[in-house]
Amino acid sequence: MTMSISPIHPATELLGECEVAPRALRFRPARPGDARLCAPLIFASGSHEFEFFLGVSPERCITFLAFAFGLDGGRFSWRRHEVAVDASGEIVAVLAAHDGRRILADDPHVVLTLVRHFGVLRTVPMLLRGLVLETELPKPKRAQTLVAHCATREASRGTGAFSALFTHALGEVARGLNTPAREIVLDVLVSNTRAAALYRRLGFVDIPRRKPRSKRLPAELESIRMRFEPRAHR
């Protein structure tokens, strides 16, 4: 099972022609203590997906994400995330990168995390829904790095903060790709046309889907997987 959540919530800001990222903005790896601030942002990055997967209220989804974020391993862990911080030290944006070579333990880890937080009986239907969600949002292949969990706090939307973090993270990921065979991918909801337009400006192209959406998946969760091909935009 994977949780490669759609990278930008429809409400997150886009970098317009006249917008620039705040000069005081800094980028750093996330820390365990960032859980309280990052969990609501991560939820906002894919609220429909999280509510479908967990089957609980938004508040309980966020509580779970804060718990999972504070752990040392797993796809929701602080170790997978980067944040943008403003001049006052407040987190304004977050995203995650999942290296396909380092996700072997993700599935058993998320099972244990769900059991610890929700108990066995509640976890079983969550895992079944997770398998359905994975048909639309597959985990990255070994030769891929998946960018996910991207969002900006409401007060910082429209300032270029997220786009700056995204561009910074892409540079960090790209420097780690040692062979032409590795690629950067992401998922975006079909309905999220603004986010898809941003990704295309950043150098992503749509990957044609090979099979239709599962009938067990809500129509609003239909997604597009995109691949980073900056040369195609030069």
Whether 13 is covered by a domain: the verdict is: no
- pLDDT, the chain, mean: 85
> Looking at the predicted structure, is the pLDDT value of residue 55 above 50?
yes
203: left (phi over 0), alpha (psi -120 to 50) or beta: left
Whether 6 is covered by a domain: the verdict is: no
Could you list the residue range(s) of the whole structural domain that residue 168 is in? 26-233
73-95 pLDDT, tens digit per residue, is 999 999 999 999 998 889 999 99
CATH number of the structural domain spanning residue 206: 3.40.630.30
Q: SS3 for 228?
A: strand
Whether 1 is covered by a domain: the verdict is: no
Whether 212 is covered by a domain: the verdict is: yes
Cβ atoms 41, 96 nearer than 8 A:
no
8-42 pLDDT, tens digit per residue, is 333 233 333 334 455 688 999 999 999 999 999 99
> Looking at the predicted structure, is the pLDDT value of residue 197 above 50?
yes
Whether 95 is covered by a domain: the verdict is: yes
E strand or H helix at 123, and its extent? helix 120-136
Whether 16 is covered by a domain: the verdict is: no
Whether 98 is covered by a domain: the verdict is: yes
Q: 70 or 22, which is more confident?
A: 70
Q: What pairs with residue 172 in β-bridges?
A: none
